[in-house]
Amino acid sequence: MVKSLITLENEAKKALNGAKNLKELDGFFRVYLGKKGEITLLLKSLTKLTAQERKKQGKGINVLKGKIQQLFKDKTQELKQEEISSNAKGDWLDISIPGIKIKQGNLHPLTQVQRRAQDIFRSMGFAVVKGPEVESEWYNFDALNMPPDHPAREMWDTFWLKQKKRSINTKENFLLRTHTSPLQVRYMQQHNPPLRIIAPGRVFRYEATDANHQINFYQLEGLMIGKNVSVANFRAMIQEFYEKFFSKKIAIRLRPSYFPFTEPSFEVDMTCLVCNGKKCKSCGHSGFMEMMGAGMVHPNVFRAAGYNPKNWQGFAFGMGIDRLAMMKYKVEDIRLFYGKDMRFLTQF
Ligand code: DAH
């Protein structure tokens, strides 16, 4: 015999302890216990011995084989356990953790208000029209009964556009529209009465910003022309609009006012929503809130549009969309709508 059983045992134990995973353990098995393994070959070699010798040596080898087999079994068990727990660590899934919330965007509050207003007017037969934000002086002022040097132009602080060398064949001046009223004339020039339109859009004023003023904001213009369209029609229509928009009963009040493009002209007030008409600080203890300008279309505006003022009459109005939003959501500062504070914007 080349190696003593003790040496073999020590070697085998050392190899077994050194095995780091099941694959290495497989290698160990082949070297010691497999078909051609050292212990197996040792047992096979016994056949060459005499019966007596075989008995004597065989016992020792079998004891060694038994020992190594047991150690191999234990080690296999140990490594299997280790592998299971390390796999489990990698794939750990805690099904009780709350999911990751998907962030959903939302429409800007002013867009929501504009769309709601459009829906209500559409339900009353009004078409929605749009026009340019860069407007000509003629549409913004002259056509609306405000010739050059008319003092009423002072009612609007205007951003005039610089005129480069006139490449286009016009003497026109251009500006950022100060109101949506130019659309009245633009639309009438291209359509025959009777008609009902609203024109929502952005307008610009060259003025200082504060809680109630912005250099740009949104208006919604309205125009209804027919043979017999009256102030009473306007009153009924606008009351219906506010009641639908604010989902509550609302009182309307018309106050005489002045606009160059309407005659007569009025300011429209509605029940103060802060105190529900009971008179509070917000409404200056009147119980009413000022909501918009309106009036019966001036004959000169009809003339500018090419209509005969003897044949047609109608009302026009212009409301602030921002104002509407401030009332609906009880927002006290218009600047919040134009800031980028997501804490504010995502509330709507
Ligand atoms: N354009 C006016 C403004 O910006 C609002 C207005 C008043 C519009 C009376 C109208 C109207 O159509 O009839 O202040």
Q: What are the structure tokens assigned to 17, written together?
A: 């302890």
CB atoms within 10 A of CB 29: 17
Q: 159 and 271, same structural domain? A: yes
Residues forming beta bridges with residue 309, ordered by sequence position: none
Instruction: Name all residues whose Cβ lies below 6 A of ligand 1.
Output: 179, 181, 221, 259, 262, 293-295, 316-318
Q: 77 and 19, same structural domain? A: yes
Q: What's the gap in Å between 77 CA and the centre of ligand 1?
A: 89
Ligand 1 atom showing the smallest separation from residue 318 Cα: 8
Q: 308 and 230, same structural domain? A: yes
161 belongs to a structural domain: yes
Q: 121 and 30, same structural domain? A: no
* DSSP 8-state symbol, 210: B
Backbone angles phi, psi at 275, to 5 degrees: -115, 5
101 belongs to a structural domain: no
98 belongs to a structural domain: no
Beta-sheet pairing, 252-257 with 174-176? unpaired
Q: 147 and 266, same structural domain? A: yes
From the CA atom positions of the chain, what is the Rg in Å? 45
Q: 200 and 336, same structural domain? A: yes
104 belongs to a structural domain: no
Q: What's the gap in Å between 25 CA and the centre of ligand 1?
A: 91
Q: How is the beta sheet containing 174-176 ordered, strand by strand?
A: 134-136, 174-176, 159-160
Number of domains in the chain: 2
Q: What's the gap in Å between 157 CA and the centre of ligand 1?
A: 14
Q: What's the gap in Å between 293 CA and the centre of ligand 1?
A: 5
99 belongs to a structural domain: no
Q: 56 and 123, same structural domain? A: no
Question: What is the pLDDT, as a whole number, of residue 262?
Answer: 98
Coil, helix or strand at residue 135: strand
Question: What is the pLDDT, as a whole number, of residue 170?
Answer: 66
- Stretch (H or E) spanning 69: helix 51-90
Q: Which of 143, 321, 89 is nearest to 218 (CA)?
A: 321
92 belongs to a structural domain: no
pTM over 0.75: no
- Stretch (H or E) spanning 299: helix 299-305
Domain stops at, among 24, 53, 87: 87
Environment class of 241 (CB within 10 Å of its CB; exposed 0-12, middle 13-18, buried 19+): buried
Q: 113 and 68, same structural domain? A: no
Report how far residue 217's alpha carbon sits from residue 27's, in angstroms, rounded to the nearest whole number: 81
Report how far residue 193's alpha carbon sits from residue 248's, in angstroms, rounded to the nearest whole number: 33
DSSP string, 169-208: S----EEE-SSSTHHHHHHHHHSPSSEEEEEEEEEE--S-
Environment class of 260 (CB within 10 Å of its CB; exposed 0-12, middle 13-18, buried 19+): buried
**Angle at which helices 51-90 and 38-45 pack, to 10 degrees?**
160
Nearest CA, atom 5, ligand 1? 318
Residues forming beta bridges with residue 218, ordered by sequence position: 202
- Establish whether the linkage from the previous residue to 264 is cis, with ω within 30° of 0: yes
Name every residue whose Cβ is closer than 8 Å to that of residue 323 and which is 6 or more positions away in sequence.
291, 292
103 belongs to a structural domain: no
Using most ligand atoms within 8 A of CB, pick from 135, 181, 203 the residue to mutate for ligand 1.
181
96 belongs to a structural domain: no
Range of the domain at 329: 109-345
Q: 291 and 153, same structural domain? A: yes
Q: 317 and 175, same structural domain? A: yes
Q: 325 and 206, same structural domain? A: yes
Report how far residue 235's alpha carbon sits from residue 231's, in angstroms, rounded to the nearest whole number: 6
Q: 191 and 78, same structural domain? A: no
CATH number, position 221: 3.30.930.10
CB atoms within 10 A of CB 182: 24
Environment class of 287 (CB within 10 Å of its CB; exposed 0-12, middle 13-18, buried 19+): middle
Q: Which amino acid is at 96?
A: S
Bin 133: left if φ > 0, else alpha if -120 < ψ < 50, else beta. alpha
Residues forming beta bridges with residue 176, ordered by sequence position: 134, 159
Q: Which of 249, 263, 273 is nearest to 325 (CA)?
A: 273
If the chain, 348 residues long, is cut into consecutive pieces of 10 residues, what is the mean pLDDT of each piece?
Answer: 80 90 90 91 88 87 91 91 76 84 92 98 98 96 95 91 68 93 98 98 94 92 98 96 95 96 96 86 85 97 98 97 92 90 93
Q: Which amino acid is at 12?
A: A
Domain stops at, among 34, 57, 87: 87
Q: What's the gap in Å between 191 CA and the centre of ligand 1?
A: 21
